[in-house]
């Protein structure tokens, strides 16, 4: 087992060796989820960009394979997406077997390149750029099939100039090889990173609104727009929404061709792992399911861990407290745990503060401000019907926190003291009702 190092995430994907940043080419093909990733096979820092490759049957247990795409005449292999060409529009399929088709940016001339595989193991390079440089840096092609117009759509980030608006360019293609510019959606300018690099674009039904579907467009920092799309142009109805409050979640992508129709995301979860002789650096987030929900403020995106994560539960603690007061003993005092999932629903009533200590990392809810504060990061978490719902995962390299059933996501990278295996829950001010409090000890995915 090569995944025993002290700072090795135990239920998040990381490469055996070398650096990773963005997830790439996420696609379900021939019974496997494929996760490609920006990989430096030769070092712990960014460089020599190559597409690493891992596969999983359940989104949880990953097997790292040989690197799939290597730097070539197009230069370093930057980020991009993948699709399954089920109808063989490209002609790249073989003997009735469809091809998985991968798109990446060749960082020498900023062209968009194509590769394919019919077995998910060996990869062929199409050779020439399918989209030439448009302006300055063009990168991170994300390709999807648009059924109503029977066309492929590529969303490409196109840098225009230092002080011009960031832009996402939409292109269309009948065959994945020939691309025609269709429209442009503009984001922020300069340091305003709205719609800056790594586009993701998909349609989802809105929960509880029969038959209503909306399109979501995001850039690398996860600020997103909700709108409609006619196959040519994306029309923003709400823009620059944000419900991800970590400082360390970046460039997420979602799986193409997911067999159950779910929209499942993984992002680059930055970690503090370039130390203590670790042979690798950086990791991916948990796989997260996206949903669109109706809220009083409008339609919003939620993310929650996929249900497959539940298979990691090894043991449950059920403290069963119904009320916690300032004078209460710590209801979690008997627990000793390393890898943890903590689920709670709390009704703060007139209490001032609720404090959950996760192995030495305080997760604090300020009731008056309706804010969650963790390691210097603050997220607004309005109570829903007087209730706070929190889901916290603790791995060796930090916490992933979900509040209000996924309306708020707070990934926090912090190397947790291996020797601190205790949890505590306390309140200040009044008394807090606890409709739910459960702690699960989790297994490593590398066992």
Residues that bind ligand FRU (CB under 6 A): 21-22, 38, 49, 78-79, 105, 139-140, 197-198, 220, 250-251
3-state secondary structure of 229: strand
Task: Tell me the two tokens of residue 429.
Answer: 């001010």
The residue (of 45 and 311) whose beta carbon lies closer to ligand FRU is: 45
Catalytic residue among 22, 85, 248, 257: 22
The residue (of 79 and 413) whose beta carbon lies closer to ligand FRU is: 79
Gap between the Cα atoms of 240 and 86, Å rounded? 34
Gap between the Cα atoms of 171 and 261, Å rounded? 24
Q: What does the DSSP assignment read for 181-213? A: EEEEEEEEETT--TT-SS-EEEEEEEETSTT-E
Q: Does the active-site annotation cover 230?
A: no
The residue (of 93 and 199) whose beta carbon lies closer to ligand FRU is: 199
Gap between the Cα atoms of 192 and 326, Å rounded? 43
Question: Least distance to ligand FRU from the beta carbon of 284, Å?
Answer: 13
Q: What does the DSSP assignment read for 321-353? A: -SEE-TT---TTTT---SSEEEEEEEE-TTEEE
The residue (of 110 and 145) whose beta carbon lies closer to ligand FRU is: 110
The residue (of 198 and 284) whose beta carbon lies closer to ligand FRU is: 198
Gap between the Cα atoms of 341 and 372, Å rounded? 18
Question: Least distance to ligand FRU from the beta carbon of 5, Å?
Answer: 23
Q: Which residues pair with 299 in a beta bridge?
A: 294
What backbone torsions phi and psi does residue 424 show, to the nearest 5 degrees? -150, 155
Gap between the Cα atoms of 49 and 75, Å rounded? 9
- Other Cβ atoms less than 10 A from the Cβ of 165: the count is 17
Question: Least distance to ligand FRU from the beta carbon of 178, Å?
Answer: 23
Question: Least distance to ligand FRU from the beta carbon of 434, Å?
Answer: 40
Count of helix runs (H) and strand runs (E) in the chain: 0, 34
3-state secondary structure of 307: helix
Q: What does the DSSP assignment read for 128-158? A: S-SB---SS-EEEEEEEEEGGGTEEEEEEEE
The residue (of 36 and 250) whose beta carbon lies closer to ligand FRU is: 250
Q: What does the DSSP assignment read for 59-83? A: SSS-EEEEEEE--BTTBSB----EE
Instruction: Give the rounded distance of the alpha carbon of 321 from its chain centre.
Output: 34
**CB of 136 closer than 8 Å to CB of 161:** yes
Gap between the Cα atoms of 293 and 408, Å rounded? 13
The residue (of 234 and 250) whose beta carbon lies closer to ligand FRU is: 250
Instruction: Give the rounded distance of the alpha carbon of 346 from its chain centre.
Output: 27
Tell me the CA end-to-end span of the chain in Å, nearest whole number. 8
The residue (of 197 and 265) whose beta carbon lies closer to ligand FRU is: 197
Contacts of 443 (CB under 8 A, 6+ apart): 11, 312, 313, 314, 339
Question: Least distance to ligand FRU from the beta carbon of 170, Å?
Answer: 18
- Residues belonging to the active site: 22
């Amino acid at each position: 087992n090569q995944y025993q190092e002290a700072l090795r995430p135990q239920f998040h994907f990381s490469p055996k060796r070398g650096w990773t940043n963005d997830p790439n080419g996420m696609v379900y093909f021939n019974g496997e989820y494929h996760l490609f990733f920006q990989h430096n096979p030769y070092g712990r820092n960014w460089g020599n960009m190559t597409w690493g490759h891992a596969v999983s049957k359940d989104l949880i247990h990953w097997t790292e394979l040989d690197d799939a795409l290597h730097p070539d005449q197009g230069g370093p292999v930057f980020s991009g997406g993948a699709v399954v060409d089920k109808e063989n529009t490209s002609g790249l399929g073989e003997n009735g077997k469809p091809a998985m088709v991968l798109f990446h940016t060749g960082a020498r001339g900023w062209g968009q390149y194509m590769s394919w595989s019919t077995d998910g193991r060996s990869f062929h390079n199409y050779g020439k750029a399918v989209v030439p440089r448009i302006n300055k840096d063009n990168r991170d092609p994300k390709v999807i099939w648009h059924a109503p117009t029977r066309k492929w759509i590529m969303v490409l980030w196109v840098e225009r100039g230092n002080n011009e608006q960031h832009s996402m360019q939409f292109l269309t293609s009948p065959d994945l090889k020939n691309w025609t510019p269709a429209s442009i959606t503009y984001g922020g300018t300069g340091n305003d990173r709205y719609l800056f690099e790594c586009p993701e674009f998909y349609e989802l039904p809105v929960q509880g609104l029969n038959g209503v579907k909306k399109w979501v467009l995001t850039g690398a920092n996860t600020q997103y727009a909700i709108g409609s799309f006619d196959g040519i142009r994306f029309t923003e109805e709400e823009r620059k929404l944000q419900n991800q409050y970590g400082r360390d979640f970046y460039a997420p992508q979602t799986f193409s061709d997911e067999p159950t129709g779910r929209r499942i995301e993984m992002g680059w979860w930055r970690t503090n792992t370039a130390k203590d002789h670790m042979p690798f650096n950086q990791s991916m987030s948990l796989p997260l399911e996206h949903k669109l929900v109706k809220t009083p403020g409008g339609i919003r995106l939620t993310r929650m861990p996929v249900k497959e994560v539940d298979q990691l539960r090894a043991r449950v603690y059920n403290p069963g407290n119904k009320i916690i007061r300032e004078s209460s003993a710590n209801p979690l005092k008997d627990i000793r745990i390393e890898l943890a999932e903590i689920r709670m629903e709390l009704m703060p009533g007139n209490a001032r503060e609720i404090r959950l200590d996760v192995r030495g990392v305080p997760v604090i809810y300020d009731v008056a401000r309706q804010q969650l504060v963790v390691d210097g990061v603050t997220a607004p978490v309005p109570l829903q019907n007087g209730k706070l719902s929190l889901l916290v995962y603790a791995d060796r390299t930090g916490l992933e926190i979900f509040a209000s059933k996924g309306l708020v996501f707070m990934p926090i990278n912090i190397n947790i003291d291996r020797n601190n295996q205790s949890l505590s829950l306390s309140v200040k001010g009044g008394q807090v009702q606890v409709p739910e409090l459960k702690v699960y000890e989790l297994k490593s995915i590398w066992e």
